[in-house]
Amino acid sequence: MIVLLVVPLLVPFAAPLLAGRLAGARHPVAALWSLTLAAVVLAVSTLVALGGLLLPGVLRLPVAAELGELVHPLAVGPEALLYPATLFSAAALAGWVWATWRSLVRQWRLYRRARSAADGRQAAGDLSIVDDVRPDAYALPGRPGRIVVTSGMLRCLTPQEHAALFAHERAHLSGRHHLFLAAAELCARCHPGLRPLRGAIALAAERAADEAAALATGDRRLTARAIGRAALAARMAPDTRPAFLPSATTGPVPQRVSALLRRPAGRRRLVPALAVLLLLCAGISSGTAAAGALVLHRGVEVAQGEWRAGR
């Protein structure tokens, strides 16, 4: 049983290997869905496995055994591993609850702050303009969803590029991409191996919005230029944010621009293959978690005296 429940804890470490390639793929909507689905399944399997590893140790406590109406001690897996597994999963679950709660509170507070910055402002359709020299733009989900853009951003782009920017942000809102991002954030808290998936999901969401903007404006090059120029302007603006950790690999913005400049080309088979592999990982993970839970359930029934052990 222990072995079955350890598999879902190990599989997520393999997922990022596939995810990185998938996020920049040519079908960003499909990539977004498969990445998010895989992340959610892997995260839930992780939690089920941790719960399964925690339970046998907890049921050794007299109070819990009485509550569970156990008449025999629960015997699942090697005895030597019982307490280490229990301690490990208790610590991991406690850490998860704490991190998730903090993240939820923090995100909600940020959202409220952004919302109040946009509300009560002069509105033109779905657009809120903040008079600020630093170029910045984002989609603010809610009812109604809004596009928040600084005057600095508007000034560094041409009217044609404004159209691409607005189409991009509207695609975020109509595609409800914030839900995917929130799911990615919650999953990243469940397992360290899922953290890289968060970046991959964010990139896939941006790519999906980029493709929608290219479709709406009818001009891939224009959309690519709008993104590129906005990013360069944001970098050169005074009072800019402290630079990120230097990364060896190419960051998301150049990837998005080059994907737009690239003509639709072959290598399409790669995407379904990667998506299938990733979902297969998720399947293995959830399958073993479910099997482990079943074995555990059977073990509990045996301990409750409903089954005779070994039958």
Enumerate residues 168-197 that contact another protein by CB under 8 A: 168-169, 172, 177-178, 181-182, 185
Q: Which residues contact 309 (CB under 8 A, 6 or more apart)?
A: 72, 75, 302
Q: What is the torsional sign of CA 124, 130, 133, 136? A: negative
20 belongs to the binding site for another protein (CB under 8 A): no
296 belongs to the binding site for another protein (CB under 8 A): no
Residue 109 carries which DSSP code? H
Q: Which of 228, 286, 300, 303 binds another protein (CB under 8 A)?
A: 228
Q: Which of 67, 91, 250, 305 binds another protein (CB under 8 A)?
A: 250
Alpha helices in 68-158 (DSSP H): 79-118, 151-156
224 belongs to the binding site for another protein (CB under 8 A): yes
Residues within window 23-52 making contact with another protein, judged by CB under 8 A: none
Residue indicated by tokens 């109070």: 63
**For another protein, the closer CB: 33 or 88:** 33
Residues within window 74-133 making contact with another protein, judged by CB under 8 A: 106-107, 110-111, 113-114, 116-118, 120-127, 129-132
- My answer on whether omega of the bond before 16 falls inside 30° of 0, hence cis, is no
139 belongs to the binding site for another protein (CB under 8 A): yes
Minimum distance of another protein from residue 32's CB (angstroms) = 12
72 belongs to the binding site for another protein (CB under 8 A): no
279 belongs to the binding site for another protein (CB under 8 A): no
